[in-house]
Amino acid sequence: MKHALLLLLIVSLFISCSPKNTQEATSDFDVYERMKELKINLRKPDTPVANYVPARTSGNLVFLSGHGPLKQEGGYVEGKVGKDLTLEEGYEAARLTGLALLSSLEQEIGDLNRVKRFIKVLGMVNLNPSFTDMPKVINGFSDLMVDIFGERGKHARSAVGMASLPANIAVEIEMIVEIE
């Protein structure tokens, strides 16, 4: 009996001291404070240029339409990565696209602290046919989400190359986010 009780106590301590599953992680910090530390400011999202909405919520999932690399001063980063833009400029374009997506997400859900986790991301890179480092470009987006949201910012992802994108934008990204 004593051994069973001791075993139960050890198992309970092991479970309570084990690291939590990152998929179950919730916010332990304020996203806005983190963005302030990183000197990140979101601008008001642009109005869609066609007959669609930037984001749609279904249950606890938010589906965001493809967004492009919106500059803070307005306009988009344009051109083909590997021809008109370097890998580094493509990375920065993906980062700007992430900021545009966060602006639309905030408009849709009201508070970015409601983000439980990023589920799926599709990153499309406008590229010269010989350029094959699409994942390194889309890292601009992925790195930003992890910088801001920590473990909640990690996501499943595809990074693909495109012969062209609307209005010759350098990057287009869409995503699915789970909210609380």
Domains of the chain: 26-179 (3.30.1330.40)
Query: Is the pLDDT confidence value at 4 over 80?
Result: no
Q: pLDDT tens digit string along 24-41? A: 445 579 999 999 999 999
**pTM of the complete model:** 0.84
56-92: burial string, b at 16+ Cβ within 10 Å, e else: eeeeeebbbbbbbbbeeeeebbbbbbbebbeeebbbb
pLDDT in tens, 70-100: 998 889 999 999 999 999 999 999 999 999 9
